[in-house]
Amino acid sequence: MRTRVSLVRGLSKILLVLLVAGPLAGSPASIHYFLGCPSPGWQAVFRTFSLAQVEDPTNADIYVICPGNDAKAPPDGWLRNGRLLVLEGDSPVARSLGFVSSEGAATEVRNVRDLRNPGLLIVWEQPLSLRPTALPAGAQVLAEDRWSRAPLVASFRKEQGTALWLASGPGESGFQRFPYLANALLDAGFVPPLRTRGLWAFFDSAYRHRVDLPFLARRWRDYGIGALHVSAWQHWERDPARDAWLRALIAACHQHGILVYAWFELPHVSERFWADHPECREKTALGQDAQLDWRKLINLSDPVCAARVRQQAGAVLTAFDWDGANLAELYYESLHGPANPARFTPMNATVRREFQAESGFDPAELFRTGSPGHQSVNPEGLRQFLAFRRERIASLHAEWLRFVEETARTGGKPLHVVVTQIDDRFDTSVRDNLAADSHAILQLMHQYPFTFLVEDPATIWNLGPGRYTEIARAYAPLTPYPSRIAIDINIFPRYQEVYPTKQQTGMELYRLVNAAARAFPHVALYFEHSLSPQDLPLLAASAAPETHLRREGAAVVVESAQPVGLRWSGAARVNGRAWAARENDTLWLPAGRHRVEPADQDPDFLLRHTSAKIRQVRGSGGVMELHYESPSRAIARFNLMPERVWVDGEAYSTEVWKAPDSYYLMLPPGEHLVRVEAAGEAVPTH
């Protein structure tokens, strides 16, 4: 169940400058780390960004010194190479650099003030007794005890490199103590070796009308957003100014390789539809209009009302250049189920007649106090009506999937459909309370090629990153199409008692996104406006699939089960061939094992990026062959203007658009082999 709130975010402050290993020609800045002692927390931090642990510190880019008198210093000359030295607590190495623990009384620390986001309430679940530590002259405090102002995290730049000191470790999960530890690394020049551009994000245009759309689209692209699901109900009724704004949004997204989906929230339609058609309003069990939270529910069981909704939905789908549609949260209220008649739906006249004809009694009797049909004395009748509701929701999904398919066919443009439904595997009460039966909806995959987006329910937001592996295991047996199941992460303040922050941020958010990306082919974020500015720069890195990296001289060996972006400076050869899928500092690699090494120069014709899953890319001169797969139509961006295109050996007619840094075109959904010949006109690299 979605919540819509007004959020105000401050600007992040750059507080830490860290020197990391100067990369070999072309290779990523950091791949390997060394731990001076066992530390699950540090392992969690580094593995989130696919860094590999090594046993030989001479091969490490990051060296963690653990507390104690037996802590070993890195080999001579190690720090002078510009690598990062992390100091945890008190040790001879820390003292040698000027981080000297006091002999005075210890202070209990639980409330932390991070100077990156001073207003954020950071509370440790378990307080620590820590002695104050004197810092070397010139050290910069990054986090402190909120009450005593004793330093807890500080950086110290020396001529030969930089040390990062922490009063304690990051915690067993990597985020219990210092949420913005990974962000500090990034701000200073640490470049995670991998990234993706496959995240989805929900977008409510009510929060973003006064924005620079090209700037926003470029930012989404840089932060790994590959598809935007836009609130269609905000554009239900036609208005020239709002229509023009939406078209500009879609065009800006397409220029940057971002797909755009029409996000529906049925049975909510729009504020105007609710006002204009009171006869179509859904009813609660108390006979009241079903205005529940921000959603104003419409009776989709009434044939006349449903026809009006479909007519206007078809107009929304055909009037704009959508790439897909998201049928989200099509269920009945409420979270408390029949225990709360004031929110329980559907109780419109159409449903009541249909159920009475089937079962022999009016379901309204279940909620009439003193009635012989009341749910307290008629539990079997209640079970019948709850089953009827679930069946109706499954039928509504079939109706709307058929409607979108027919609309797309009539309009002559393919639309990839996503069905977003709240999880009912972990909290099974959802099935009766909301009539959300994921198993029944998943059976429709046999007829309709949609992607099922599991909405992460609020009841389990406190369970940590491991829940996504369990959710994936729970859904895999329900359908023969596991590649069509995705996960939706809700980023909001949680109602449970959670630590160290109420809303997922920093390292906790990165670990959640990373775990979800390793368990599902697509990860959606609800919603883009609820993300803190501090969290945006590392999203693309945290969402990269599980990948194994290692250096072999000047080369890097990459092994990944999914396509991935490898940070790389300059031209490259992949498996001995000049590689044509490169955008600035990123090589886009297919799944599999690849050996990447520096090259003298790029091919003339470059694939800057594609929204599709790359199978293979080969380029020579002004000709490129691209083997790809995509459930939606695919955006492909090039450095040269495409002149002729063939798809599976047949000439393909498509419009070519010019963006500020590329030329782009649309390719058909499915798996295809494409040949593109360039006209020769280039767009400069930025």
* AA letter at 517: A
Q: Please check whether residues 397 and 265 belong to one and the same domain.
A: yes
Is there a contact between 261 and 253 (Cβ–Cβ < 8 Å)? Answer: no
Q: Are residues 634 and 561 in the same domain?
A: yes
Mean pLDDT of 251-262: 98
pLDDT score, position 684: 57
Residue 89: CATH number of its domain: 3.40.50.880
Q: What pLDDT is stored for residue 335 in this prediction?
A: 84
pLDDT, position 227: 98
Taking 90 as the threshold, does the pLDDT of residue 452 lie above it?
yes
Query: Does any domain span residue 378?
Result: no
Percent over 90 (pLDDT), the chain: 85
Taking alpha carbons only, the member of 55, 89, 185 closest to residue 542 is 185
Q: Is the predicted pLDDT of residue 16 greater than 50, yes or no?
A: no
CB 168 within 8 A of CB 88: yes
pLDDT average, residue stretch 530-551: 95
Is residue 11's pLDDT more than 60? no
**Strand, helix or coil at 267?**
coil
In sequence order, which residues have a C-beta less than 8 Å from that of residue 683 and are 6 or more positions away?
639, 640, 658, 659, 660, 661, 662, 663
- Give the separation between CA 83 and CA 32, rounded to whole angstroms: 11
**Which stretch of 62-71, 119-128, 146-155, 344-353 has the lowest confidence by average pLDDT?**
62-71
Nearest CA among 664, 686, 682, 684 for reference residue 605: 682
Is the per-residue pLDDT at 686 higher than 70? Answer: no
Q: How far apart are CA 135 and CA 90, in angstroms?
A: 12
| Number of alpha carbons in the 13 Å side-chain half-sphere of residue 14 | 7
Specify whether 520 is located in the same domain as 554: no
The pLDDT value recorded for residue 105 is 87
Q: Which residues pair with 557 in a beta bridge?
A: 550, 595
Q: Are residues 610 and 494 located together in one domain of the fold?
A: no
Whether 6 has a pLDDT exceeding 50, the answer reads no
CA 414, distance to chain mean position in Å, is 24
Is the predicted pLDDT of residue 467 greater than 90, yes or no?
yes
pLDDT (0 to 100) of residue 166: 94
Q: State the CATH number of the domain containing residue 422.
A: 3.20.20.70
Do residues 169 and 215 share a domain?
Answer: no
Please count the CA atoms within 13 angstroms of the CA of 503 that sit on its side-chain side: 16
Q: Report helix, strand or coil for 227.
A: strand
What tokens were used for 264? Answer: 């529906």
pLDDT of residue 426: 87
Is the pLDDT at 681 greater than 80, yes or no? no
Task: Give the tens place of pLDDT for each residue, 377-410.
Answer: 999 999 999 999 999 999 999 999 999 999 999 9
pLDDT confidence tier of residue 1, bands split at 50, 70 and 90: low
Query: How confident is the model over 299-318, as a mean pLDDT?
Result: 98
Per-residue pLDDT of 649-663, as tens digits, reads 999 999 999 999 999
- Say if 10 falls within a structural domain: no
Do residue 245 and residue 113 come from a single domain?
A: no
Tell whether 533 and 558 lie within a shared domain: no
Pair (557, 631) in one structural domain: yes
Looking at 486, 521, 542, the residue that finishes a domain is 542
Number of domains in the chain: 3
Angle between helix axes 40-48 and 506-519 (nearest 10 degrees) is 70
Please say which residue of 477, 508, 542 terminates a domain. 542
Neighbours of 286 (CB within 10 A): 14
pLDDT at residue 523, rounded to an integer: 98
The pLDDT value given to residue 184: 75
Each residue of 532-542: pLDDT tens digit?
999 999 999 99
| Per-residue pLDDT at 334 exceeds 90 | no
Q: How far apart are CA 192 and CA 59, in angstroms?
A: 17
533 and 581 within one domain: no
Helix-helix angle 467-475:506-519, to 10 degrees? 20
In which band, very low, low, confident or very high, does the pLDDT at 8 lie, cut at 50, 70 and 90?
Answer: very low
Residues 6 or more apart whose CB falls under 8 angstroms from that of 330 comprise 266, 267, 393, 396, 397, 400, 419, 421
Query: pLDDT at position 111, please?
Result: 98
- CB burial of 470-506 (b: ≥16 within 10 Å; e: otherwise) equals ebbeebeebbeeeebbbbbbbbbeeeeebbbbbbbbb
Let me know if residue 413 belongs to a domain: yes
Counting other chains too, the contacts that 106-112 makes at CB distance below 8 Å and 24 or more residues apart are 106/130, 106/131, 107/131, 107/132, 107/145, 107/148, 107/150, 109/145, 109/148, 109/150, 109/152, 109/167, 111/145, 111/146, 111/147, 112/143, 112/144, 112/145, 112/146, 112/152, 112/177, 112/178, 112/500
DSSP bridge partners of 151: 144
530 with 617, same domain?
no
Give CA 334 to chain center in angstroms: 27
Does the residue 78 lie in any domain? Answer: yes
* Domain stop point among 165, 192, 219: 192
Domain that holds residue 149: 32-192
Burial 141-154 (b: 16+ CB within 10 A, else e): bbbbbbeeebbbbb
Which pLDDT does position 82 carry in this prediction?
A: 72
Flag whether pLDDT at 25 surpasses 60. no
Mean pLDDT over 500-509 rounds to 97
Contact 667, 674 (CB under 8 A): yes
* Residue 366 included in any domain: no
User: Closest Cα to residue 415, out of 282, 313, 533, 308?
Assistant: 313
Reduced to 3 states (helix: H, G, I; strand: E, B; else coil), residue 544 is coil
Is the pLDDT at 297 greater than 90? The verdict is: yes
Decide: 494 and 526 in contact? Cβ < 8 Å: no
Output the pLDDT for position 185: 74
- Do 312 and 214 share a structural domain? yes
In a domain, 9, yes or no: no
In a domain, 351, yes or no: no
Identify the CA nearest to 596 among candidates 614, 621, 570.
570
**Residues 517 and 560 occupy one common structural domain:** no
Name the burial class of residue 552, with classes exposed (0-12), middle (13-18) and buried (19+) by CB atoms within 10 angstroms of its CB: exposed
Asked if residue 121 belongs to a domain, the reply is yes
pLDDT at res. 190: 73
**Residues forming a β-bridge with 578:** 573
